[in-house]
Amino acid sequence: MEYEISIPLYLTYNRYLSGYINIKETGPVKTIRNKIEENKLTYVAQNVKPYKIEPYVNDMKNYISALQMELASADYSKGEFVKEFANSWQAVAKRIYDDEDFGKQLEFKSYFKRELNEILKPDMSRRQKIDAVFKYVQARMNWNMYYGYSCYNGVKEAFNLKTGNIADINLILTAMLREAGVDANPVLVSTRSNGVALYPTLNAYNYVIAAVEIDGKTILLDATNKNTVPDIIPLHAINWVGRIIKSNGIAKETSLMANVISQEMVNVTASINPEGTITGRARNQYHDYNAMLFRDKITGQSNENCLQMIQKQYTGTMVNDYKILNKDDLSKPVAQEYSFTHNNLSNVINDKLYFSPFLFFAESVNPFIEETRQYPVDFVVPVRTRYNIIVTIPEGYNPELLPEALSLSLPNNMGSFSYSITAHGNTLQLTAVHEIKQAIISQEHYAALKSFYQKIIEKQNEKIVLKKS
């Protein structure tokens, strides 16, 4: 694959190569065409593999190999007058901040003064002020599903209408926090679907959130989602880096990546009868990003619909007595509890019972099935799932075979899995922890990751053998 381009000598372009294909540049070679001196550049790529959809990939625009060219300058007078075109990130940030629909909106204060005075209390700490203002804006404002770093209605109209685009809502949040005495600034973001910008341009960003500095730490805030909390932003905004813009126009890069490991805790108490039917009660508790995602999923759903989602997720499971805990209290982990019955988790052969102690939580399909991987594996956020499953076995049965303990690790401490099962009288207790500590794992470690998941699936599906005495 070869691409040639000829550029007049009086034009200078910045050239940006992206992606994972090795593209070789040769030149420039000076040529003359129609009495105009030109520089000819040649780009060659060999053994280019076809584009392929892979699981756990950020927006493909971030990885597809591309050549992009930006006009940097024009010199029509042989050095006497040079017209500069290229932007710096600093220039882009300042231009956005100086726009009427961005920085100017942060200067308006009168429209929220009364409400802010009601929110704030004299003895509040800075952190309490941040939480109080964030909760107020989040509860009051409703996102109209439009992106953008420029206001749609303007902050005053949006505040009165209680609805607005991303910029309307998060610039209101920023302005209120500043008025409350908090060091708050807007953060320009390119969402995952917008890709990562290769060079400074006004089109690089399509989203804005807020950031506050407290105790030397940057906390990110997005009040457009009803289920976010400080430092937990929607997944579509987690796209590598953003740019904080301060009131003096100074901009600095900041990480948008999650800095906490989001947990799910699965606790189950169950029993199995001689016919192989398993009944019990389960509690799934979700923390941080897992909590936000679970609340997003159940927003607007009845308990009956949530119950049906459990039954669809875990095929063959009959669920009843379903309830959700801390659904609206975002300061606490959210949990779902339910009773269940399952008739197809075990096999009865003569005087023996066979079943997996992972019950219906056992995975059966490895998400990584290809032999090789072209792109990094993107889990979006680090995650940890803990399982504590206690199963009471039928009277007159004893464990003949228990799965062995297992401990697995990914290279460079990127993830781990531990599994152990013990017998205490007529009860069996399984403890397992599955952890991905690094949100993005290089394709160089794909073989290790694929093997890691395969071993987990095999262990989760290993059977306990109970023998009737």
pLDDT digits (tens, 9 = 90+) for 206-245: 999 999 999 889 999 999 999 999 999 999 999 999 999 9
State the pLDDT at residue 196.
Answer: 85
Mean pLDDT of the region 162-190: 97
In degrees and rounded to multiples of 5, residue 23 shows phi and psi of -105, 120
Angle at 419 between CA 414 and CA 424, to 5 degrees: 155
Domain ranges (residues) in the chain = 2-84, 90-255, 262-468
- The encoded tokens of residue 39 equal 């520089």
CATH of domain 90-255: 3.10.620.30
Q: In the 3-class helix/strand/coil scheme, how is the chain assigned residue by residue?
A: CEEEEEEECCEEEEEEEECCCCEEEEEEEEEEECCEEEEEEEEEECCCCCCCCCCCCCCHHHCCCEEEEEEEEEECCCCCCEEECCCCHHHHHHHHHCCCCCHHHHHCCHHHHHHHHHHCCCCCCHHHHHHHHHHHHHHHCEECCCCCCCCCCCHHHHHHHCEECHHHHHHHHHHHHHHCCCCEEEEEECCCCCCCCCCCCHHHCCEEEEEEEECCEEEEECCCCCCCECCECCHHHCCCEEEEECCCCCEEEEECCCCCCEEEEEEEEEEECCCCCEEEEEEEEECHHHHHHHHHHHCCCCHHHHHHHHHHHCCCEEEEEEEEECCCCCCCCEEEEEEEEECCCEEEECCEEEECCCHHHCCCCCCCCCCCCCCCEECCCCEEEEEEEEEECCCCEEEEECCCCEEEECHHHCEEEEEEEEEECCEEEEEEEEEECCCEECHHHHHHHHHHHHHHHHHHCCCEEEEEC
- The encoded tokens of residue 347 equal 């096999």
State the pLDDT at residue 319.
Answer: 97
State the pLDDT at residue 115.
Answer: 98
State the pLDDT at residue 126.
Answer: 96
State the pLDDT at residue 36.
Answer: 83
Mean pLDDT of the region 123-132: 97
At the second CATH level, the architecture of 262-468 is Sandwich (2.60)
Q: Which residues does 333 contact at the CB level (< 8 Å), separation at least 6?
A: 285, 286, 287, 291, 326
- CA 183, 102, 296, 433 dihedral sign is negative
pLDDT in tens, 363-396: 999 999 999 998 899 999 999 999 999 999 999 9
Confidence of residue 79 (pLDDT cuts 50, 70, 90): low
Mean pLDDT of the region 61-79: 79
pLDDT in tens, 322-377: 999 999 999 999 999 999 999 999 999 999 999 999 999 999 999 999 999 988 99
Confidence of residue 191 (pLDDT cuts 50, 70, 90): very high
Residues 404, 407, 408, 414: what is their CA dihedral angle, to the nearest 10 degrees?
A: 150
Is residue 275 over pLDDT 70?
Answer: yes
Is residue 86 over pLDDT 70?
Answer: no
Is residue 111 over pLDDT 80?
Answer: yes
State the pLDDT at residue 410.
Answer: 98
Confidence of residue 451 (pLDDT cuts 50, 70, 90): very high
Average pLDDT, the chain: 93
